[in-house]
Amino acid sequence: MPAVHISLDILQYILLPLLLTPPYLFLYLSVSTRSTIHPANHSHAMLTYPFDHTIFPASPSPLAPPCRTCSFPKPARSKHCSICRACIQKADHHCVWINNCVGRNNYLYFLGLMLSVSILLAYGAWLGYRILHVQIGLAYRSTPPAPSPDSWSRNLSWRRYAARFADIIAVHPFTAAPALLAGLSFPLAAGLSLYHVYLIWAGMTTNESGKWADLREDIAEGRVWRARLEELGADFPGLDAQPLAEGGGRGRGDRLADPRELGGGHHGGGGPQAEGAEEGEKATQ
């Protein structure tokens, strides 16, 4: 085990506690904060987000029956988690690493956890590299000795540089192994962090991105199609805009028509057949 303290300056002793503390803090907050919906907060959850009548139909309705486990209507943007055994408000996903659902109340803590872990992994990989770099200089001192342990690599080819690093990794595995693990794990944590930054920019959750992806597939396959309510009125007299008015609507009276809601058939000769359409909109289930 190398004398690590020889390779560290005062800045590293300041950075280490500053970078180690946030991941543990955000981990505790992510685990201890829950976004479950229960009878006491259900009425408030129903009013928090409007139903878009596309991936979240108004509940209760034939397209969005009450939750069979929790026995109450599902609020918009919620999802029942079979692991947590509860409906989660603004459900993003169930994270196995924190053994908790990521939802409305702990999403920012989870994002802080991912960002702080990404920074810590990058710093750990860099710090391990710097320690090994100095250790190689101490092990391969030139005659006369180099001005500093950090100057040994100036005149080396990349091949000799890699060979010396391989040698020092074999000599100091307890320093090299954490650095390599941090370096290999950093892209995973950074990629997940960037994906959630994108979701924030797009205004949706992981659960909702999956629903939209399923909906795009259904539209491409002709199971769901877009139409205006006034155009559908001639073929389906019982259809009106009242559900859209209650939930905020889509602004211009147009919506994604679901054949189960309309009673089958097709619109204007261009819609899907009833038997194909009855498979329904997977994204609303």
| Domain ranges, ordered by start, for the chain | 4-27+108-202, 36-89, 221-284
Most trustworthy range by pLDDT among 57-71, 113-127, 159-173, 255-269: 113-127
Alpha-carbon distance of 149 to 109, in angstroms, equals 42
φ, ψ of residue 117 in degrees (nearest 5): -65, -40
Per-residue confidence (pLDDT) for residue 97, from 0 to 100? 92
Name the percent of the chain lying above pLDDT 70: 69
Confidence band for 10, pLDDT divided at 50, 70 and 90 = confident
Per-residue confidence (pLDDT) for residue 244, from 0 to 100? 46
Q: How do residues 160-212 score in pLDDT, each as one tens digit?
A: 777 877 877 888 888 888 999 999 999 999 999 999 999 999 999 999 999 98
210 CB-near residues (< 8 Å, 6+ apart): none
The average confidence (pLDDT) of the chain is 77
Place of tokens 């006034």: 230
Contact by Cβ (8 Å): 37, 78: yes
**Top-confidence residue, 105 or 261:** 105
| Lowest mean pLDDT across 116-120, 129-133, 161-165 | 161-165
Confidence band for 144, pLDDT divided at 50, 70 and 90 = very low
Contact by Cβ (8 Å): 136, 128: no
**Top-confidence residue, 252 or 188:** 188
φ, ψ of residue 278 in degrees (nearest 5): -70, -10
**Top-confidence residue, 149 or 75:** 75
79 CB-near residues (< 8 Å, 6+ apart): 87, 88, 91, 207
Alpha-carbon distance of 53 to 73, in angstroms, equals 15
**Top-confidence residue, 73 or 249:** 73
Catalytic residues: 95
